[in-house]
Amino acid sequence: MSETGTMTRRERVLKLFSGEKVDRPPCFSGMGNVTTAGLGQFGYKFAALHSDAKMMADAAAQTYRLTGFECGVVPFDLCVEAQALGCEINVYAHVDDILYPTIKQKIAHNEEEMGAITVPADFVKRGRIPLVKEALRLLKADIGGEVAVGSYVLGPFTLAGQIMELNDLLKLSFKKPDKVGKLLDTLADAIILCAQEFVEAGADYITVREMGATSDVLSPRVFKSLILPYLKKIFGAIKSHSVLHVCGKTNDIAGFMVESGATAISVDQKNDVAETRKKIGNALLFGNYDPYNVLVSGTTEVVRQAVRKCVEDGVDAVWPGCDIWPTVPVENIKAMLDEVTNYRR
C-alpha cells in the first residue's frame, strides 16, 4: 500500500509515541478493528477467529490491506486474561451473527473466594495467551514492516469484573476497599505478565482497557483512590509504548489517567476533548469518534465531519471510542483516512 505523507505509517505512530514531531495525526487504534468485509475475503466466521492464531492474524491484517487503517491489532475479545485465570468462556460458535465472546463461568462468587484469587505459576502458558502471542508474531511478520502492531490487556478493575460478579465488586469497592485493593494488586501482576508476553511477541504498543472504571459507573474519587495506584504499577512495568483507554464519561478523570504513566490516554465520544486538552496540556490524547454511530452507520460526510472535530478539538491521533464494529463499511474507513490525510488544522 502506498504511503500518504512524508513518513511511513509505522514511523509516524512510533514517532508520535516517542514524543517526536509527526507530519499529521495518525489514524489507528489499540482496540479491535476486524471487519466483516475482511472476513468475507477469507471466508472466515467471526466466532472462529478467537481460537485460531492464523485466522486472528489474517483478519487483523486485512483491515489495513482493505482500507489503509494504520495498524494491526489482536485479539478481538476481552476474555483472554480471565480465561487464563480459570474462567470458562463462550465464543457463540453456533451463532452466525457477530456476538463477542463472554465469560460463562466466573471464578469468584463471594468475598472469600475473591480473597483467595492468585495468579497461577504457569499463567502465561494458560488459556489463549500463547495463541494471541502466536497471532502477534504472524501479524508482525505479515504487516509489521508497514504499520505498528498493537495488542491490549484489561485494566485491573475491568478484569476483576470479568472474574467475579460485578455487583459484588462494585459494592465491595465501597465496603471493603482494602480487600478489593489487594485483588487489584494481584490482577495487576497478571496483567503485567500478559503484557510482557505480548510485547515479547512483537506488540509495539499495549492498550490497557479500563472501561469498567468509567465515571458512568464509578466516581472519580474511587477511580483515584482505588484504581489509579494499580494502573501506575502496570504502566511502570510495561516496557513498550502504552495507552490507557477508558470509555464513557471521562472528563473528570482525564487528569488521573495521565498520572497513570501511560504513554498516551484514550477516551470515547462522551469526552469533551477540547476541555480535556486544556486540562492535560501536551500529554498524548487519542480519540474520540463514535465507532458505531459515526463509523458504521454514518455517511462518509458524517465520518469526515467527525474526523475534523477530533482534530480541531486537539487529539494527537484519530482513534475510535471502542472496538470498531465489524460491519463497518469499507468506504467509511477510507473516507476517514482520506480526511485525516488531507485535513489541515
Partner 1 sequence: MVTDEKKQELLERLKNAVIQYDEDASKEASNEVVEIGMDANEAIFNGLVSGMEEVGRLFEAQEYFVPELLMSADALYAGLDILKPHVQQMDLGVKGSVVIGTVEGDVHDIGKNIVKMMFDVAGFTVYDLGRDVPLDKFIEEQLRTDSDLVCLSAMMTTTMVGMKKIIDEIKSKNPNVKIMIGGAPVSADIAEKWGADGYAKDANNALKDAINMVSSLKKMKEEADARKRA
Q: How far apart are CA 6 and CA 22, in angstroms?
A: 9
Q: Does residue 204 bind ligand B12 (CB under 6 A)?
A: no
Phi, psi of 242 (to 5 degrees): -145, 155
Q: Does residue 76 bind partner 1 (CB under 8 A)?
A: no
Q: Does residue 289 bind partner 1 (CB under 8 A)?
A: no
Among 29, 214, 260, 266, the residue binding ligand B12 under the rule CB under 6 A is: 214
What does 174 bind: ligand B12, partner 1, none (CB cut-off 5 to 8 Å by kind)? partner 1
Cis before 75? omega within 30: yes
Among 107, 131, 166, 330, the residue binding partner 1 under the rule CB under 8 A is: 166
For ligand B12, the closer of residues 159 and 192 by Cβ is 159
Residue carrying the nine cell digits 466466521:
45
Q: Which stretch binds partner 1 (CB under 8 A): 88-96, 122-130, 146-154, 192-200?
A: 88-96
CA 100 to centroid of chain Cα atoms:
15
Q: Minimum Å distance from CB 333 to partner 1?
A: 17
Among 54, 175, 239, 278, the residue binding partner 1 under the rule CB under 8 A is: 175
Among 5, 100, 179, 251, the residue binding ligand B12 under the rule CB under 6 A is: 100
Return residues touching ligand B12 (CB under 6 A).
32, 77-78, 100, 102, 158, 161, 166, 211-212, 214, 216-217, 247-248, 268, 291-292, 321-323
Residue ranges that bind partner 1, judged by CB under 8 A: 90, 92, 95, 97-100, 102-103, 166-167, 170-171, 173-175, 215-219, 222, 292, 296, 325, 327
